[in-house]
Homo-oligomer: A and B are copies of this chain.
Amino acid sequence: MIPRYTPKDFGDLWSSKTRFDVWLEVELCACEALEDHGLVPKGTAAAIRAKNIVIVPSRVDEIEAVVKHDVIAFLTHVEELAGAEARWLHRGMTSSDVLDSSLAVLLTRAADMLLERLDKYIAALSARAREHVYTTMMGRSHGMHAEPVTFGVVLAGHLAEAKRGRTRLIAARSEIAVGKIAGAVGTYAHLNPEIENAALAKLGLLPETVATQVVARDRHAAFFSAMALIAAGMERLATNVRHWQRTELREAEERFTRGQKGSSAMPHKRNPIVSENLCGLARIVRSAVTPALENIALWHERDISHSSVERMIAPDATTTLAYMLDRATALVEGLVVSAEGMQKNFDLTGELCFSEAVLLALVDKGRPRQSAYELVQRNAMRALSGDGTFQANLASDPDVTALLSESELRRCFDLQHALRHALAIVDRSIAAP
């Protein structure tokens, strides 16, 4: 989390203020549930709520410097502010009951904020895919011209991937929407499962199936993995934009705003910096996965090695992903698409992209596949090396004309036929869950 890459709402979410507010809310919800079960005097939570206390983070830090324990420091400060009543807070609970339930609240909020952004990204991709359903583009495999696609189909692929990311994030959100009010080692020694259920329900959480001192960390690792997958999807799109914008391609480019400068040395530059930024940040989001996996194998009922890791990767990964989604959405919405540029590149390889159609026509006429292949390759390679056009070469090759009439050959070079399923493909991705 550095200011440059931190959307405001995520800055707020991961502030000390929000953290302590959520801790207090967890303590109060637990207190209310304890009251309902007669373990704490009725009205305790209400009385504390009525005081509208305001946690002073710096004071908590001050106390922590002595007691070396963040939750105890927090509770001490709450007692300072709320008075004697506060001694009932945290009854039968352990720090991790507060910390892990709070983390669950914060991460589910983060997930919701991410899902909202993801929906916008998806909407942007849908709109542009539909817009360009018939914009012809050369398909490339290995970076080499292959067969025709449309730009809409290409975006539809990114759309379908983003939707899969959304499905995974929803699943991962439900995995981390799990708290724990089960006491020191998860046995409810001074609590019971009903209290936990009631307290967590107020917070929008379910209880951990079997807690140790903490909520199990495989849940969090799954969440980080889901985020890395979404980031990787944007990395793929951004990589493609960087290709499309290359000087030699100029098929699509990032919106260049008024006043923007591309290079301190070269005034002629207009660079795909948003896309490059997305590629870099995908590495950051990805880099949280391994530490999250390493956090799982805690010793016995828990050790606290995971804590420092999560203090860093939880804000970093969620915030960076949010920032990426914001930028990627703007990138897609503002992408300047050049149908003309696409056509110009399409024409570069003459009609070589129809070589497969010729191959199939020859096979249909009885030529064995591998020998037909060599026949087509021979004429294609001549064209590639500048000797005639592909169609003309074929038309003057007696081995070809022996099998294909002029009109049969011509039919192999039908672009519209090649792209006849484009709309169905785009529709399929828009209809996908």
Contact A189 B356 (CB under 8 A): yes
What are 29 A-B interface contacts by the 8 Å CB criterion? A4-B311, A72-B261, A72-B264, A75-B264, A76-B370, A94-B266, A141-B271, A142-B271, A143-B300, A148-B187, A153-B186, A153-B210, A159-B210, A184-B263, A184-B265, A187-B425, A189-B418, A190-B357, A190-B360, A218-B232, A222-B229, A236-B298, A240-B300, A261-B377, A265-B359, A267-B380, A268-B353, A277-B308, A287-B287
Residue of B nearest to A71 (CB): B264
- Measured between beta carbons, the chain B residues less than 8 angstroms from A293 are 228-229, 232, 286, 289
Contact B273 A68 (CB under 8 A): yes
How far apart are A70's CB and chain B's nearest CB, in angstroms?
9
Contact A143 B299 (CB under 8 A): yes
Contact A302 B164 (CB under 8 A): no
| Stretch of A45-53, A81-89, A100-108, A110-118 contacting B (4+ beta carbons < 8 Å) | A81-89
- Measured between beta carbons, the chain B residues less than 8 angstroms from A360 are 91-92, 190
Contact A146 B280 (CB under 8 A): no
| CB of A329 within 8 Å of the partner chain | no
Query: Whole-angstrom distance between the alpha carbons of A273 and B95 in the complex?
Result: 14
- Measured between beta carbons, the chain B residues less than 8 angstroms from A239 are 297, 299
| CB of A130 within 8 Å of the partner chain | no
Interface string of A166-207 (1 = CB under 8 A from B): 001001000100000001111111101100000000000000
Contact A247 B140 (CB under 8 A): yes
Chain A 346-373 interface residues, beta-carbon cutoff 8 Å to B = 348-349, 352-353, 355-357, 359-360, 363, 367-370, 372-373
Residue of B nearest to A231 (CB): B293
| CB of A410 within 8 Å of the partner chain | no
Interface string of A258-287 (1 = CB under 8 A from B): 011111111111111100110111111011
| CB of A12 within 8 Å of the partner chain | no
Contact B308 A280 (CB under 8 A): yes
Would A161 and B216 be within 8 Å (CB), given that A309-B284, A369-B90 are in contact?
Answer: yes
